[in-house]
Chains A and B, each alone.
Chain A
Amino acid sequence: MPLPSEKEEVWRYTPIDALDLDAYAPAVLGPAAPAAGPLAEAFVAGLASDLPVRAAMVTTLDGAVRSVDRGRLDDRVVVGAVSAASEGALGQVLTGGDALVRLNDAFHPDAVVVDVPAGVVVEDPIVVVHWCGAAPETGAVAPASFPRTVVRLGRGASAGVVEVVAGMPEGRGLVVPVVELRAGEGARLSYVGLQVLGPSAWHIARMAAASDRDATLRTFTVGLGGAYDRSRTDAVAAGPGATTELRSAYLGTGEQVHDVRTLQDHAAPHTTSDLLCKGAVAGSSRSVYSGLIRVRRGAVRTEAFQTNNNLVLDPNAHADSVPNLDIEENDVRCSHASTVGPVDEDQRYYLESRGVPPERAEQLIVLGFFDDIVQRSPVPASVGRLQREVGIRLTEALHVGDGSHG
């Protein structure tokens, strides 16, 4: 199977042609595997203290499960590594997939599985942390990681998962995560994905989500790190009455490329999906948002909404926004909207008319732009950490801290 190419529509505007797999080697596993370094340990400890109330925490090193802390998790819930023998859990939601998914199939060391049986309600979030690049770049060879995660909720179950991809603080690296989410009948599944890799890493993530009859599936993916950060989310409303809420946020600094692709796939009647994707690009960074609402024949009374808002903070930054509709049914309500532009002049004037200096006004508006989406995270416990991660990078993006006011 060939590697993806920029000639394909789903890879347009990306630097994927520059991907040279020979420059990467999958992480070493088994007894020779490197230990988690102090950076990884400090990161995990920090995350643990930011999410003090949690049901369970799983850590992996390059996708290999290193620890499973079940905390006060209900005994009936399965959390942890699934061995190759029982990998029937995989590929249930994500079918097909390109060459990068095949690479993950071949090289993921473990699959982290969260299996919540019918009727079980997990109140507190389950945290999954992947630290990538345990063996850093040596010579011409950079590390490649293939984390794999499956979350399944049975009928009427409820749970929230916070998954964090971090590591590769220096040097190049490639991280190709694959995540599958399934919300069974009437289940409520909330998922937050946070990517905070180092500035030279490539992150090419694929997520597939399915919601059955009357299920509610809410996802929020936040892309902050990496040189190239791609997240593709395909969410299918598979059963009647299913509700999907997709949220994404990205912030580009330096020369980053953020690339968000979404599919709201309506395969059943009376289904609802609502997508909101907000991003800002500063410096020479750029972003691509491309989203498709597909309403299949028979999916009557579909309601699907798609909104992409982009702030372009510097003259050399650039954002592309490509919304699409593919509707095969008549009795539906669908809409899409996108904006690309600098900080709103009226908003700035409004704050200035209260005496707020322009640099500070811009900072408040951009912080607010993100806060607006972060505050509504489907896993409320994640809000504090997300705000801090965004805040740190915004400080850099807006060149604040030099104390000068007009």
Chain B
Amino acid sequence: MTDGHLLEVENLHATAGGGEVVRGVDLTVRSGEVHVIMGPNGSGKSTLAHALMGRPGTTVTEGSVRLDGVELVGLPAWRRARAGLFLALQQPIEVPGVLLDATMAEALAPLGAGPPDRGALSDRLRQEAAAIGFDERFLSRALNVDLSGGERKRNEVLQLGVLRPPFCVLDEIDSGLDVDAVRAVARRIESATGEWGLGVVAVTHFHRLLRELRADHVHVLVAGKVVASGGPELAEELEHTGYAAYASPT
């Protein structure tokens, strides 16, 4: 278990597709913590996730994202990944002909070094698959090709388990999953917080993720800003009141 990593998001503003959709987000995540960011559709959740990871087309206009003191803003996505950040995509991309196990070998290979030991990697892939009920037959298939929406989400969590980054951003990891799958995925993430001190930023607009995933902090994102922060009780409250109470008068 590696403790003591720190992800600091400070006054983050980001635009995607022309309009500003993240308007000043502050967030501090320590190893082992689970932060859940909830918000209605269009509140800027996905833009926030991609601004953290550095998706081309998502531009940070102000603010900073530091991982253990290293500024991530301005770095390409792969450098952020190597610095210790992982993004589980809301809609994982199909990459025909590019195999899951081969991609993991690439991702784990430090620059200039060869890929890791095949046997060890293959063992780890199988362990992670078993942990979340991901069919082993998919391990040597092309990334996300011919997988259902739910299988793709499991695939993201599987990769998270294989790569073991200090921090992960989960973009709507619960959408498209049935109750059992949400439970399996949430349990894997939760155990990772203890196993290697994974720090989690989970973005969602469903409450059901919170029934399965123990959140340390809940933040409400409306119109690109965090309008309320609190403990798990905040999610309970939201379930009853909805987001209307937080609708910004801008």
Q: Do A and B truly interact?
A: yes
Interface assignment of B43: CB less than 8 Å from any CB of chain A: no
The answer on a CB contact under 8 Å between A353 and B163 is: no
B107 proximity list for chain A (CB < 8 A): 354-356
B231 at the interface (CB under 8 A from A): no
Q: With A364-B106, A365-B95, A372-B97 in contact, is A350–B143 under 8 Å at CB?
A: yes
- Cβ distance B175 to chain A, nearest Cβ, rounded Å: 18
Given pairs A350-B95, A355-B107, A357-B111, 8 additional interface contacts (CB within 8 A):
A344-B93, A345-B56, A356-B103, A364-B95, A364-B103, A365-B98, A367-B97, A406-B79
Question: Is A24 an interface residue, CB under 8 A from the partner?
Answer: no
Q: What per-residue 1/0 map shows which CB atoms of B106-142 lie under 8 Å from chain A?
A: 1100011000000000000000000000000000001
CB-defined contacts of B94 to chain A, threshold 8 Å? 347
Shortest distance between the CB of A56 and any CB in chain B (Å) = 31
State whether A372 touches B163 (Cβ < 8 A).
Answer: no
Q: Given the known A-B contacts A367-B97, A369-B96, A406-B76, are A355 and B81 also in contact in the complex, defined by CB atoms under 8 Å?
A: yes
Q: How far is the CA of A371 from the CA of B53 in the complex (A)?
A: 29
Q: Provide the residues of chain A in CB contact with B55, threshold 8 Å.
A: 349, 353
- The interface residues of chain A lying within 8 Å CB-to-CB of B159 are 354
- Tell whether A368 pairs with B78 under 8 Å between CB atoms, given A349-B55, A355-B107, A355-B163: no
Q: A351 near B: Cβ within 8 Å? A: yes
Are A352 and B106 interface neighbours, CB within 8 A?
A: no
> Which residues of chain A come closer than 8 Å to B56, judged between CB atoms?
345, 349
CA distance A80 to B78 in the complex (A): 55
User: A393 interface residue, CB < 8 Å from B?
Assistant: no
CA distance A372 to B146 in the complex (A): 13
B25 at the interface (CB under 8 A from A): no
A355 neighbours in B (Cβ, 8 Å):
78, 81-82, 106-107, 163
> What residues on A are CB-neighbors of B81 within 8 Å?
352-355
Which applies to chain B's interface (DSSP): helix, strand, loop or mixed?
mixed
Complex A-B, nearest 3 residue pairs according to Cβ-Cβ distance, in ascending order: A368-B97, A372-B97, A355-B81
> Closest approach, in angstroms, between the C-beta of A128 and any C-beta of chain B?
28
Cross-chain contact B93 with A346 (CB below 8 angstroms): yes
Whether B198 is near chain A, meaning CB under 8 Å from some CB there, is no
Q: Are B86 and A353 in contact, with the CB atoms below 8 A?
A: yes
* Per-position 1/0 for B159-174, Cβ under 8 A of A: 1000100000000000
Known contacts: A345-B56, A351-B103, A405-B111. The answer to whether A364 contacts B98 by CB under 8 A is: yes
Q: Is B48 an interface residue (CB 8 A)?
A: no
Contact surface of A with B, Cβ cutoff 8 Å? 344-347, 349-358, 360-361, 364-365, 367-372, 375, 403, 405-406
Complex Cα–Cα for A344 and B76 (A): 17
Given A356-B106, A364-B106, A372-B142: A347 and B163 interface contact (C-beta under 8 Å): no
Contact between A368 and B96 (Cβ–Cβ < 8 Å)? Answer: yes
Contact A347 B53 (CB under 8 A): no
**Complex CA distance for A351 and B87, rounded to whole angstroms:** 11
Contact B78 A371 (CB under 8 A): no
On chain A, the residues within 8 Å of B77 by CB distance are 349, 352-353
Assembly CA distance A403 to B87 (angstroms): 27
Is there an interface contact between B102 and A364, defined as CB atoms closer than 8 Å?
yes
Taking the closest CB of chain B, its distance from the CB of A222, in whole angstroms, is 15
The answer, yes or no, to whether B42 is at the interface (CB within 8 Å) is: no
Task: Identify which of B53, B92, B97 contacts A369 (C-beta below 8 A).
Answer: B97
Chain B 66-89 interface 0/1 with A at a Cβ cutoff of 8 Å (1 = within):
000000000011110110001101
Closest to A354 in B: B107
Assembled-state Cα–Cα distance A405/B113 (Å): 12
A251 to chain B, nearest CB (A): 14
Residues of chain A contacted by B97 (CB below 8 angstroms): 367-372, 375
User: Whole-angstrom distance between the alpha carbons of A372 and B98 in the complex?
Assistant: 8
Q: What are 5 A-B residue pairs whose CB atoms fall within 8 Å in the complex?
A: A352-B76, A354-B81, A356-B107, A357-B78, A365-B98
